Amino acid sequence: MDKTNFMRRAIEISRREMLEHGAAPFGAVVVKDGKIVGEGCNHVVNRHDPTSHGEIEAIRDAGRNLGTWDLSGCDLYTTCEPCEMCVAAMFWAGIDTLYYANTLADAEALGFDLQPLRDMVRADLHERALPTERLLAAEAREVLDLWTTQPNFDTFQG
């Protein structure tokens, strides 16, 4: 299968999930070694999950199917250029290459306003629109330090 087949599959998913399940038509697939290992679609409204973007769902599906959080060696195909949350998820997953079809400008033309998210992500912690307060730093730090001595310690950098 070539790249257009993978993108076509993501588009099919977006159309099917929208028509059959009331999803928003943002589909994605994760591909490894020429095979689809994860699929997803935006189910924010119908599953009451604000993080259910197509890319996140495809990454979760790929992780479950491959039995690892480490998706290095995988590419992600999405029907729309990803938001900052999904770019961050791709970073943590170690996705190799991103392929997209629609642009964020296309989505914004429909009424999505992503500028406040961009501004918030780029701003320093205390300059963000989201009110933020630090609590119990020493107690939380104790657990972080304890983790470095545990067999499951991992910085998730591959």
Which residues form the catalytic set?
55
CB of 105 to Zn ion, least distance (A): 15
Out of 7, 59, 83, 93, point to the residue binding Zn ion (CB under 5 A): 83
86 near Zn ion, judged by CB under 5 A: yes
What type of residue sits at position 98? L
CA dihedral 107, 113, 117, 118 (to 10 degrees): 70
Residues 39-58 that bind Zn ion (CB under 5 A): 53
The interface region with Zn ion, picked from 58-66, 75-83, 92-100, 135-143 by CB under 5 A, is 75-83
Binding residues for Zn ion, per CB under 5 A?
53, 83, 85-86
